[in-house]
């Protein structure tokens, strides 16, 4: 048997197993027969993945919590016409990328970076309606199923992959490295056209102007034609824009009644975001400088961002990362402590605090921070250092258990964990 035949047979076997586990049904949104994941399984997967997916992509935006309330209200209104009664939930992520995504079970997120590109509530409704359809029509569930069949895997609440050589490098690069592990759907032409088509129906039923969907796609086509960096890659990979989508949306919108735009309400809702955009721009530049190991410039830019918006925990986290790279553990600890006082529910601040306390050999204070970080998002670097704390405290069996978790990963941290297991057990 050739390798290709073997792979084909394995793929067919997996597909048959998944077919037996799920079954073929008529989708309530599209009316098409398709391999369908059970309702309860979709909800379970979405619920399990939602927290880790948010953590890996910046965590929830927290400077102005009312924005999350507003987005959820608009999202619920747009989702109401869906024939699939999923427990829809909508959040804003503290992420510069202009993107939005949907998990199975109706768990939807929109990035801060996309919100500031929109002009009114109708355009927001177009984005959220599109994502509602991806969830309700099982597009995201099908993407996960395909990933499982070909062996890619999906985001799970396990040890996240990090390929770091030391703690300082980990702190500088961890956000990007962990974020890269998040499940990223790759919707095809038909799925995008379906999401546009039914999404327009939902937003119109909710009272919004369908022309907003045309404007949204026009905006994306223009961005795609004019992009000169990788900043928009995830948006275009997951939601490929095309003139065909613009034309089809325009033809459909022309047959539908106009509706509300709610520009003033939208602009009021994102006023703080717009006001703080210069500070976020400084922060992006600071990250670029840190990547190039120009830490003095990075620190200067980060301090400017903090001065503009002192309530953004993300800025203090970056400051802490830079100070750790400069071997200023005490100052880094203070920066991470401030970040956690502003937003205790983002894993990166807790991780940074734990690692900076480890540098200072303050193991009793490092332990709760690392534990909380691991609860928010399991990472090998957190669990490895928890193992080191247990060694210091004389808890050999608990240390080995932590190291075994970290050793499951093919990374520098994983290799270090394997070494520590060998030292402690002789294996």
Q: 252-297 pLDDT, tens per residue?
A: 999 999 999 999 999 999 999 999 999 999 999 999 999 999 999 9
| CATH code of the domain made up of 271-362 | 1.25.40.10
- For 201, the enclosing helix (H) or strand (E) is helix 189-205
Report pLDDT for 97.
92
pLDDT band at 146 (very low <50, low <70, confident <90, very high): low
Task: Please tell me the least confidently modeled range out of 288-302, 318-332, 361-375, 409-423.
Answer: 409-423
Report how far apart the first and last C-alpha atoms of the chain are (Å, whole number): 38
* Contact in structure between 47 and 105 (CB atoms under 8 Å): yes
Distance, in Å, from the CA atom of 92 to the CA atom of 118, rounded to the nearest integer, reads: 14
Q: Where are the domains of the chain?
A: 21-157+186-267, 271-362
pLDDT of residue 411: 83
CB of 355 closer than 8 Å to CB of 317: no
Whether the pLDDT of residue 96 is over 50: the answer is yes
- CA distances, 14 to each of 17, 21, 148, 203, 415 (Å): 5, 10, 9, 38, 32
Share of the chain above pLDDT 70, in %: 78
The answer to which of 53-57, 157-161, 253-257, 399-403 has the lowest mean pLDDT is 157-161
Two tokens, residue 73: 């209200």
- Say what the pLDDT of residue 138 is: 79
pLDDT given at position 376: 95
Give how far the C-alpha of residue 261 lies from the chain's centroid of Cα atoms, to the nearest Å. 28
Q: How far is it, in rounded angstroms, from Cα 250 to Cα 104?
A: 29
Name the least confident of 72-81, 151-160, 202-211, 313-322.
151-160
36-40, 42-46, 96-100, 113-117: the lowest-pLDDT one:
36-40
Least confident of 17-21, 116-120, 293-297, 349-353: 17-21
Quick one: average pLDDT of 115-128? Answer: 97
Residue 237, pLDDT score: 60
Reported pTM: 0.85
Question: Could you count the other beta carbons within 10 Å of the beta carbon of residue 187?
Answer: 21
- The mean per-residue pLDDT over the stretch 28-33 comes to 66
Task: Say which residue, 14 or 328, is predicted with more confidence.
Answer: 328
Quote the mean pLDDT of the chain.
84
Arithmetic mean of pLDDT, 101-120? 95
CB atoms within 10 A of CB 114: 21
Please provide residue 326's backbone torsions phi and psi, each rounded to the nearest 5 degrees: -95, 10
Among 22-31, 41-50, 92-101, 388-397, the range scoring the smallest mean pLDDT is 22-31
Look at residue 171 in the predicted model and tell me its pLDDT: 57
pLDDT digits (tens, 9 = 90+) for 218-265: 998 888 776 655 556 666 566 677 889 999 999 999 999 999 999 999
- Mean pLDDT calculated for residue range 130-159: 61
């Amino acid at each position: 048997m050739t390798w290709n035949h073997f792979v084909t047979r394995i793929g067919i076997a997996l597909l048959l197993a998944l077919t037996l586990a799920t079954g073929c049904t008529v989708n309530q949104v599209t009316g098409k027969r398709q391999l369908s994941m059970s309702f309860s399984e979709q909800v379970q997967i979405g619920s399990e993945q939602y927290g880790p997916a948010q953590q890996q992509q910046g965590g929830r935006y927290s400077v102005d919590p009312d924005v999350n309330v507003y987005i959820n209200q608009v999202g619920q209104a747009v989702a109401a016409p869906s024939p699939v009664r999923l427990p829809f939930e909508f959040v804003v992520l503290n992420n510069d990328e202009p993107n939005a995504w949907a998990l199975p079970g109706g768990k939807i997120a929109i990035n801060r970076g996309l919100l500031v590109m929109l002009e009114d509530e109708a355009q927001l409704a177009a984005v959220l309606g599109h994502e509602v359809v991806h969830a309700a029509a099982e597009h995201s569930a099908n993407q996960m199923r395909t990933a499982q069949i070909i062996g890619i895997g999906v985001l799970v609440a396990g040890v996240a992959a990090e390929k770091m050589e030391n703690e300082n490098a980990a702190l500088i690069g961890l956000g990007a490295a962990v974020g890269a592990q998040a499940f990223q759907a790759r919707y095809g032409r038909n799925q995008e056209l379906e999401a546009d088509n039914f999404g327009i129906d939902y937003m119109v039923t909710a009272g919004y102007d369908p022309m907003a969907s045309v404007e949204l796609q026009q905006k994306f086509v223009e961005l795609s034609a004019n992009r000169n960096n990788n900043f928009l890659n995830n948006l275009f990979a997951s939601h490929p824009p095309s003139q065909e989508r613009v034309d089809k949306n325009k033809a459909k919108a022309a047959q539908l009644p106009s509706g509300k735009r709610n520009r003033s309400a939208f602009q009021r809702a994102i006023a703080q975001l717009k006001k703080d955009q210069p500070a976020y721009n400084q922060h992006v530049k600071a990250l670029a400088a840190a990547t190039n190991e120009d830490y003095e410039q990075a620190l200067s830019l980060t301090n400017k961002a903090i001065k503009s918006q002192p309530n953004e925990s993300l800025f203090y986290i970056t400051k802490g990362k830079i100070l750790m790279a400069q071997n200023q553990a005490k100052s880094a600890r203070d920066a991470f402590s401030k970040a956690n006082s502003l937003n205790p529910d983002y894993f990166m601040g807790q991780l940074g605090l734990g690692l900076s306390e480890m540098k200072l050999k303050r193991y009793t204070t490092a332990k709760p921070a690392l534990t909380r970080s691991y609860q928010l998002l399991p990472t090998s670097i957190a669990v490895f250092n928890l193992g080191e704390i247990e060694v210091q405290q004389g808890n050999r069996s608990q240390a080995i258990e932590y190291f075994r978790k970290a050793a499951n990963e093919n990374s520098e941290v994983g290799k270090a964990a394997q070494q520590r297991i060998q030292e402690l057990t002789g294996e």
